Amino acid sequence: MTAQIPQIHEWKPEHLRLAVRAAGVALWAWNVDTDAFTMDERGFELWGMPWRDRVTFEELSAHIHPSDRDRVRSAFAATRAVLGSYETDFRIMIGNEVRWISARGQGEDVGIVGRTMFGIFLDVTGRKQAEEGNELLAGEMSHRVKNLLTIATGLTAITSRNAPNTEDMARELTERLTALGRAHDLVRPLPGGQGKAALLGDLLSVLLAPYDDMGAFKGRIRVAVERMGVGEAAATGLGLVVHELATNSMKYGALSSPTGTLDLTSAADESEVILTWLEQGGPQVKAPDAAEGFGSKLVRRSVAGQLGGSITYEWSAAGVVITLKMSRDRLTT
Q: Where are the alpha helices (DSSP H) in the chain?
A: 13-22, 41-47, 57-61, 66-78, 125-162, 166-186, 200-212, 232-252, 294-305, 328-331
Based on the structure, what is the number of domains in the chain?
Answer: 2
- Domain boundary (106, 123, 140) is at 123
Q: Is residue 148 part of a domain?
A: no
Q: In terms of Cα–Cα distance, which of 34, 38, 11, 15 is closest to 121?
A: 38
Domain holding 310: CATH number? 3.30.565.10
Q: What percent of the chain has pLDDT over 70?
A: 74
Q: Are residues 110 and 205 in the same domain?
A: no
Q: Are residues 186 and 326 in the same domain?
A: yes
Q: Is residue 97 part of a domain?
A: yes
Give the C-alpha separation, 80 to 160, whole Å.
67
Expressed as residue numbers, the domain containing 53 is 15-123
Q: Are residues 213 and 320 in the same domain?
A: yes
Tell me how long the chain is.
333
Q: Is residue 5 part of a domain?
A: no
Which of 49-58, 293-302, 314-323 comes out lowest in average pLDDT? 293-302
pLDDT number for residue 103: 86
Q: Are residues 117 and 202 in the same domain?
A: no
Q: What percent of the chain has pLDDT over 90?
A: 11
- Domain boundary (123, 140, 169) is at 123
| Contact between 281 and 254 (Cβ < 8 Å) | yes
pLDDT number for residue 264: 95
Highest mean pLDDT among 91-105, 204-218, 228-242, 263-277: 263-277
- Domain boundary (87, 108, 123) is at 123
Q: Is residue 304 part of a domain?
A: yes
Domain holding 107: CATH number? 3.30.450.20
Q: For residue 270, what pLDDT band results from cuts at 50, 70 and 90?
A: confident
**β-sheet bridge partners, residue 37:** 30, 55
Q: Are residues 185 and 326 in the same domain?
A: yes
Average pLDDT over every residue of 121-145? 79
pLDDT number for residue 320: 93
Do the strands 261-268 and 221-224 form a parallel or antiparallel pair, or are they unpaired? Answer: parallel
Q: Are residues 104 and 234 in the same domain?
A: no
pLDDT one-digit tens code per residue, 283-293: 888 887 766 66
pLDDT number for residue 2: 56
Q: Is residue 33 part of a domain?
A: yes
3-class state of residue 48 by DSSP: coil
Q: Are residues 185 and 80 in the same domain?
A: no
Instruction: Classify residue 101 by burial, with Cβ atoms within 10 Å: 0-12, 13-18, 19+.
Output: buried
Q: Are residues 239 and 313 in the same domain?
A: yes
Q: Are residues 252 and 327 in the same domain?
A: yes
pLDDT one-digit tens code per residue, 153-205: 766 776 676 667 888 778 767 766 665 566 556 655 445 444 456 788 988 98
pLDDT number for residue 218: 75
pLDDT one-digit tens code per residue, 272-285: 999 999 999 988 88
Highest mean pLDDT among 1-15, 29-43, 70-84, 315-329: 315-329
Q: In terms of Cα–Cα distance, which of 332, 91, 314 is closest to 231?
A: 332
Phi, psi of 82 (to 5 degrees): -75, 135
Q: Are residues 315 and 222 in the same domain?
A: yes
Q: Is residue 4 part of a domain?
A: no
| Contact between 181 and 207 (Cβ < 8 Å) | no
Q: For residue 108, what pLDDT band results from cuts at 50, 70 and 90?
A: low
Q: Are residues 325 and 191 in the same domain?
A: yes
Phi, psi of 163 (to 5 degrees): -75, 135
Distance of alpha carbon 89 from the chain centroid: 21
Q: Is residue 130 part of a domain?
A: no
Q: For residue 265, what pLDDT band results from cuts at 50, 70 and 90?
A: very high
Phi, psi of 309 (to 5 degrees): -140, -150
| 11 Cβ contact list (under 8 Å, min separation 6) | none
3-class state of residue 106 by DSSP: strand
Which of 113-117, 121-125, 267-271, 276-280 comes out lowest in average pLDDT? 113-117
Q: Are residues 322 and 219 in the same domain?
A: yes
pLDDT one-digit tens code per residue, 6-55: 555 566 666 666 776 767 788 888 777 777 888 888 888 888 888 888 78
| 145 Cβ contact list (under 8 Å, min separation 6) | none
Q: What is the chain's alpha carbon radius of gyration, rounded to the nearest angstrom?
A: 29
Q: Is residue 300 part of a domain?
A: yes
